[in-house]
Amino acid sequence: MRRRKLLYGLGASGAVLVPSGLTAAAYNSFTLTREASIGVEGDGSASAFLTLSPGTSNIVSTNTNDELDIAIGNAIDSNKAAGVNVGSQLDVGTFSDPTSTPAFTFQHNATDNQDIDISYNLTGTDGGDADANVQFKISDGSNEYTVTETGTLSLTGIANSTLFSVALRVDTNGLSSTEDLTGDLTITLNPSS
């Protein structure tokens, strides 16, 4: 009788007796390997997730790694020019109408609509100048958008048939020759929800 009371008592309190060889940590490690098929394409390939194609300017080109390259300075004249003059403005492509003469174009190749974020992160210095020194004018043929070094452009629900034409403007008014407008252009794609 006492034995039954003890068993009922343990069951009611939720205690479970488990032999030491069957505890939850009965193994030390677990490894599982699966094959992943990951292709690599150049920026200009229609098979790439995002196709980037340079325009006709020698400032925007495809480098030896098949990546879009924006190089103001050496691209103008590899023997002499090192940058944009102080107090000047340089347009690459037609800034007032990027679709007519783009610096470059881009288009995503995903099957689903994508949300696209575009930003330019200044890694050099603009001396604290509040003006937009680097501007990307982006057009889908119907709408125009501008991205500067101070913000991010967010576009939603973009179909893969949408071609974006981009013009670039570098404005050095108010800067000194010690400034460096080098930066990273980032285009981020996420499936639309």
Would residue 20 count as lying in a domain? no
Instruction: Report the pLDDT value the prediction gives residue 7, as an integer from 0 to 100.
Output: 47
Instruction: Report the pLDDT value the prediction gives residue 33, as an integer from 0 to 100.
Output: 82
Would residue 45 count as lying in a domain? no
Residue type, 105: T
Please tell me the total count of domains within the chain: 1
Specify which residues 191 forms β-bridges with: 114
Residue 7: both structure tokens together: 């068993």
The share of the chain scoring above pLDDT 70, in percent, equals: 81
CATH number at residue 155: 2.60.120
Between 32 and 163, the higher pLDDT residue: 163
Q: Given phi > 0 = left and psi -120 to 50 = alpha, else beta, which region is 94?
A: beta
Instruction: Report the pLDDT value the prediction gives residue 115, as an integer from 0 to 100.
Output: 97
Residue 138's nearest CA partner among 109, 112, 163 is 163
Query: Given a cut of 60, is residue 77 above it in pLDDT?
Result: no
Query: Given a cut of 50, is residue 37 above it in pLDDT?
Result: yes
Query: Given a cut of 90, is residue 109 above it in pLDDT?
Result: yes
Contacts (Cβ under 8 Å, ≥6 apart) of 34 = none
Query: Given a cut of 70, is residue 177 above it in pLDDT?
Result: yes
Would residue 158 count as lying in a domain? yes
Would residue 11 count as lying in a domain? no
Domain that holds residue 62: 50-191
Would residue 88 count as lying in a domain? yes
